[in-house]
């Protein structure tokens, strides 16, 4: 996956496609991940 920084998070949809990725960590990133998971489950697109 050619990851250079850790942590590196990938969000994968039901078709096995990476629809969002994020590297490093800052407080609140988990909230963004959670919102993006909800969007993927609803079939919505995620802004990059």
Surface-to-core class of residue 11, CB atoms within 10 Å of its CB (0-12 exposed, 13-18 middle, 19+ buried): middle
| Whole-prediction pTM | 0.80
Asked if the structure places residue 47 within a domain, the reply is no
Looking at per-residue pLDDT, the higher value among 39 and 5 belongs to 39
How does pLDDT run across 12-38, given as a tens digit for each residue?
999 999 999 999 999 999 999 999 999
Q: Model confidence at 41, in pLDDT bands (50, 70, 90)?
A: very high
3 lies in a domain?
no
Q: Residue 29 belongs to what domain range? A: 8-42
pLDDT at 5 over 90: no
pLDDT at 47: 82
The reply to whether 20 falls in a domain is yes
- In the predicted structure, residue 48 carries a pLDDT above the cut 80: no
- Please list, in sequence order, all residues whose beta carbon lies within 8 angstroms of the beta carbon of residue 44, skipping any fewer than 6 positions away: none
Domain count, the chain: 1
């Amino acid at each position: 996956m050619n990851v250079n920084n850790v942590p590196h998070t990938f969000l994968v949809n039901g078709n096995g496609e990476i629809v969002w990725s994020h590297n490093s960590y800052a407080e609140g990133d988990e909230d963004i991940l959670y919102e993006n998971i909800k969007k993927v489950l609803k079939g919505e697109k995620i802004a990059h």
